[in-house]
Amino acid sequence: MGRLFGTDGVRGVANVDLTAEMALGLSVAAAHVLAEAGTFEGHRPVAVVGRDPRASGEFLEAAVVAGLASAGVDVLRVGVLPTPAVAYLTGSLGADLGVMLSASHNAMPDNGIKFFARGGHKLADELEGRIEAIYDEHRTGAPWDRPTGSGVGRVRSYDEGFDRYVAHLIAVLPNRLDGMKIVLDEAHGAAARVSPEAFTRAGAEIVTIGAEPDGLNINDGCGSTHLGKLKAAVVEHGAALGIAHDGDADRCLAVDHTGEEVDGDQILAVLALAMKERGALRSDTVVATVMSNLGFKLAMEAQGISLVQAAVGDRYVLEEMKQHGYALGGEQSGHVIILDHATTGDGTLTGLMLAARVAQSGRTLRELASVMERLPQVLINVPDVDRSRVASSADLAAAVGEAERELGATGRVLLRPSGTEPLVRVMVEAADIDQARSVAGRLADVVKSALG
């Protein structure tokens, strides 16, 4: 059996790749693994379970709840809430485990399961590996050790989770948003109630789009993967800015008052300067990934802020932050982690903090985002090659060295073997788009000839 857990939980087409049987089995396995690890020692275990509005989340939630309760875990069902809300409530309520059912920005037929450990942090790789091993062992016939009588878990709805999470968001804001007009695109997803409520309580005048989830329309032509409607709405309503989330609202992208996109790198830059000004940017350092635009690195250097680059994936950004005590990190895609107030990427919190900086500074988001200039970036996927030989090919090393000399300090080359497909990604940044295209094209040809 192949590895189930990716960088962000287990994900696939609901009822095909991710079935009710699998959801139940993984939940039972998680309970057993955490019990073995001593997480439940000395008390009756409690889990927080939430989901996004996908239709398949209804039966998958039922399976997860059944699995946990059958393993002796009491369950608090928080209903449709963002992923970061489930993480927050897991920590805030002192729960032993959190489970979120969502496929984030994926299309509606997909779904996923994400587990959070005590405190609301993502499970360590070794625990995920153990859950998968135990699940696989019992899937092939080994019986579970099951509690009976009063030992089975009890299940109840925890409707207070909504208000508790929104109150947390408002409490950590450095200033209010009174009088600010903001358009919110909720992607017909998990933040459709939470985000408008939070922005309204913070004093903003809001216009919402994509805030009518019906279980089938999540991420459909809206949200952070489809910014066209938000751009048009911001201009139409004369708003100060627009905020876009994905299906589970762990991401945030923005649009300035002219309708121009503000990506994750630019959001990180704006928040880094705001936090540095408040003395909240520990070690004057921000964590990003190797895919962040070179313009972000140059902007941070110019502002006296150090940049640490992690592997692609918000879990690797978070690991770097936790290990060294950094306060801010994120990805170009809009996953932004503000570690003093969240244990994972939180799109609603990010949007609130971004709007708060606009309100506090008296400057437009366009002006604030101009602190960094996005250098032209060209990405070419080269298929049907042996990605395992990227690091060992002398021809490829020579071609990369030549490209780096040509680009100098204002350009960058990155070759990344895909983690899931037989292809290599060639990324080139340069001050000039034509030069970026030329260099990327040449490198792609070398990848084909050297690794094909």
Binding site for Mg(2+): which residues? Answer: 104, 246, 248, 250
Annotated binding site, which residues? 104, 246, 248, 250
Report how far residue 65's alpha carbon sits from residue 28's, in angstroms, rounded to the nearest whole number. 10
What is the C-alpha separation between 144 and 168, in angstroms, rounded?
39
Contact 26, 131 (CB under 8 A): yes
Helices 83-92 and 347-361: angle between axes, nearest 10 degrees: 100
Give me the residue label for tokens 């209903």: 79
For residue 422 the two structure tokens come to 């037989």
- Name the token pair of 377: 């970036």
d(Cα 27, Cα 33) in Å, to the nearest integer?
Answer: 10
Those residues whose C-beta lies under 8 Å from the C-beta of residue 213, and which sit 6 or more positions away, are 53, 80, 186, 188, 189, 192
Instruction: Point out which residues pair with 285 in neighbouring strands.
Output: 306
Parallel, antiparallel, or unpaired: how do β-strands 46-51 and 155-157 relate? unpaired
Active-site residues, by number, are 104
The token pair that represents 175 in the structure block: 């200033």
Contact 112, 9 (CB under 8 A): yes
Q: With the CA atoms of 426, 427, 432 and 435 taken in that order, what torsion angle do they form, in degrees rounded to the nearest 10?
A: -10
- The total number of residues written for the chain in this structure: 452
Q: Assign 3-class secondary structure to 38-104.
A: CCCCCCCCEEEEEECCCCHHHHHHHHHHHHHHHCCCEEEEEEECCHHHHHHHHHHCCCCEEEEECCC
